[in-house]
Structure 1
Amino acid sequence: MRLPRFTRSSRGEPPDRAASAPAESAEHRDRRESRRAFANEQGWHFAERAPHAIQGWPRTALPPGPLGRVRNEVTGFHAGRPFRVFDYEVSGAEPIIVYAVGLPRHVPYVYVQDREGGAHDLFVESRDRRYALAVLGDAVRADIREGAITDLVLDRDRLICTGTHASPSAIVSRLDALTTLVGHITDDVWTEWGSSP
């Protein structure tokens, strides 16, 4: 079966760049092997390096500062939705986990940030206020609150957010929360603002 473009694993770095990389720590090696084993157990795909995974993403989907490296990428389907999860590494900082879940239709960009940690005071960036309000219906706001989601981006065919917990159970739990959230976005959003991929 051919995977949709969204879930295809990115190709690894060219051999000459990989050979010049600094020595890997035991912690990084353990994290990589744990993620690989987890992907295999779930029947998902694993890529050690995935430099093209974030190509074309809006800058707000990633932490500020210089672009980092994409490592330990897992792609597949969860609750019927295509996804990708990877470590985003910036020199001198702890890696963060980035999640991207496929949307049923292409939608305009919207960035949502929970500044208060409770989905009561949301900062929203969008060109269309009506669209942003439609996305943030009551069920979606509840999902943000229950999932402790501090920021998320909807852009084209994906929902993107970050996390800090790398354990398999934390990854599955966050994927559950995100696929539930996508399911709670009302049909009006897809019909009025969505377009075919």
Structure 2
Amino acid sequence: MRFFTSYQAGVSGIIIAKTENFSGEMAKTTALQRMKKSLKIDEHKLDKFLAYYHENTALSKDDQLMLEKYRKAWSFLSLGRTYEMALAMLMKDYQIQERQARYIIAEAAMIFGHVQTIDKQAKKMASANYYRLLSNIARASGDIEAASRAWERADKLEGLHEDDKIGLNPDDFLRAAKFVFTDNINVLIQQQKRADDE
């Protein structure tokens, strides 16, 4: 039987407390890591669905059911329904929780694209087609001026008259730079003063 002095007992109590505290912090850290991992959308998980569309690979029954959920969520949003309506529909139809429905919508956007940008492009094309239809109707009725105005509006919506955006201009690199070599220290001092003033 070992007897501890009060100092030894105090030190061993601190060591035990620190060890317990360390293991508690370690457990919290691993729990947080697991939680972060479970909340993150794994892009590699969606590769099989992208391969299904691009390469016609086969999907398992579970993957086909998941793809049906993705399609349903994305089509519901693309019809103009709100995000909350899509959540409610997924939760009701598949008896899932709200968090799962949010993940399904986010993953559907990664597979099919974001509805807002696609919706804007689709409306732009629909307006352009409408102006072309108006142009054809005006031309059939003999109003050439109205037909040309409608056709120009359609071209403007499609961006036909805009310049293509290019990156760097190669002519900027062909201009010769001016280098002056001198051994006069006064020139260097003047250049440094100008640089400091700017």
TM-score relative to the length of structure 2: 0.18
Larger strand share, 1 or 2: 1
Q: Greater Rg, structure 1 or structure 2?
A: 2
More helix by proportion, 1 or 2? Answer: 2
Q: Indicate the structure whose relative CO is greater, using CA pairs within 8 Å and at least 6 residues apart.
A: 1
